[in-house]
């Protein structure tokens, strides 16, 4: 399936024409989407620095309290709002009504999950070399 991060693509069986890195994740793009991307003026998502990638690794697949997320971000010198606001952000804020808990929680977004997968893949690749 086409991994186009900008809009939903229904192309399932295709030969990728290009792979792009978006939010530090390698994505396969179908010919139709690549043509549309190339003709548009799209912002390519978040550029994450080393500290922000370490936060993604530390939090991992866990759902953590909002206050713990803030502590982790402060430890790395990163503003929490940069990682949880906007389309394509690696984290999403869950309200108490969404979790059934009394506090707000943070967890990886779909994009954040892809970034984490890519980081794990790179670690495995580095260890094998």
Rg (alpha carbons) of the chain, rounded to whole number = 16
Residue 30 shares a structural domain with residue 64: no
Least confident range from 21-30, 38-47, 68-77, 108-117: namely 38-47
Distance (Å) of CA 34 to CA 1, 59, 113: 14, 33, 23
Most confident by average pLDDT, 14-18, 44-48, 71-75, 89-93: 71-75
Q: What is the mean pLDDT of the chain?
A: 83
Distance CA 93, CA 109 (A): 9
Structurally, the chain folds into a number of domains equal to 2
Range of the domain at 3: 1-45
82-121 confidence digits (pLDDT tens): 888 666 688 888 888 888 888 889 999 887 888 888 788 7
For 82, list phi and psi in degrees, rounded to 5.
-65, -30
Give the pTM: 0.61
Residue 36 shares a structural domain with residue 55: no
Read off the CATH number of the domain in which 64 is found.
Answer: 1.10.10
């Amino acid at each position: 399936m086409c991994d186009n991060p900008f809009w939903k693509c229904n192309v399932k069986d295709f030969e990728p024409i290009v792979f792009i890195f978006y939010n530090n994740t390698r994505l396969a793009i179908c010919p139709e989407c690549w043509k549309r991307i190339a003709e548009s003026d799209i912002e390519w998502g978040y550029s994450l620095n080393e500290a922000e990638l370490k936060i993604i690794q530390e939090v991992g697949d866990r759902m953590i309290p909002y206050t713990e997320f803030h502590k982790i971000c402060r430890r790395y010198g990163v503003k929490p709002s940069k990682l949880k606001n906007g389309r394509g952000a690696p984290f999403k804020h869950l309200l108490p009504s969404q979790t059934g808990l009394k506090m707000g929680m943070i967890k990886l977004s779909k994009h954040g999950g892809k970034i984490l997968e890519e980081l794990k893949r790179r670690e495995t690749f580095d260890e094998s070399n």
